[in-house]
Amino acid sequence: MRLKKVMAALGASAAMMSGIVVCSTSASAAPACPSLYVVAIPGTWETGHEKAPGPGMLAGVTNGLPRNTDVDYVTYAATAFPWEGDVYGNSKKQAVDAARGLISEKLAACGNTKAAIVGYSQGADAAGDLAAEIGTGISPIPQDRVAAVGLISDPRRSPTDIQVGPHAPGAGAGGARPGGFGWLSDRTRTICAVDDLYCATANDDFVTRFAGFLAQSSDANPANLWRYQLEAGAIMTDLMSSGGFPTLGAQLTDAANQKRAKDLEQFYRSQAHTLYGSYSVGGGQTAISWMHNWIAQAS
């Protein structure tokens, strides 16, 4: 009888330990991986080293995405002027590096997860640069792991990018990316309000184009020397075909500078750069709601 009691006690203990082992294994299991991992890059002044990344303009894009989607926002300097601590080129590089790191880490941990990249303003500049890096094969992130790229007010918009909504004239103030988006071209969409000078600079506004080039190259990275040469060469080629240095000189006269100042003042007052939440792209959708649906469909 005692033997039976001992055996029963041992059996109960074994069952208990078995349960503990099972629970322990379950507790240490890796967290569930999303179908889609969205990395969002805010615009200038929407985040910073001392400021947590806020959704800002992209709130309507990332809020309410399907439950099988995870979203992370990138923290970076998000500055535009040297006196803010980081020049534009270095600020943008921080955003590209941070976004690349987030995506690489997530995709390495989750073999079936795909990524989406979305950005606004300087964030779109960074998101587009990362997409171009991936699409042209110079990134460790595989092209087939990126499902969608959404850019709102991209300062490097090219006339050849797939644009949603009314056709914006010209191109981004920072000039088009050499090589474009490569294999990600069919998965990249850009939205630019027709009056948003950041992404819709006239092709013959060489003063703004040179200023945009200087901002883009302000990180002075020797590894990008080839890119700087191509971008400067593109501006010079267009300038020479439009009358050369006399044309540039005419755009630098006092009268021309005064007109440019008035145009910029009108642009800032119009708030064209900040009204994408109400900017219609057709079909009853705004730029933000369309981009939300575009990202959601990729999940």
Integer Cα distance of 133 and 149 in angstroms: 12
As to burial, measured by CB atoms within 10 angstroms (0-12 exposed, 13-18 middle, 19+ buried), residue 178 is middle
Q: Provide the token pair at 14.
A: 């074994």
The class level of CATH for 36-202+274-297 reads alpha beta
**Helix locations, 56-205, DSSP H:** 59-62, 88-109, 122-135
Predicted pLDDT of residue 16: 33
Maximal CA-CA distance, the chain: 111
Q: What is the pLDDT of residues 139-198, one digit of tens each?
A: 999 999 999 999 999 999 999 999 999 999 999 988 899 889 999 999 999 999 999 999
Q: What is the pLDDT of residues 60-117, one digit of tens each?
A: 999 999 999 999 999 988 887 655 557 888 889 999 999 999 999 999 999 999 999 9
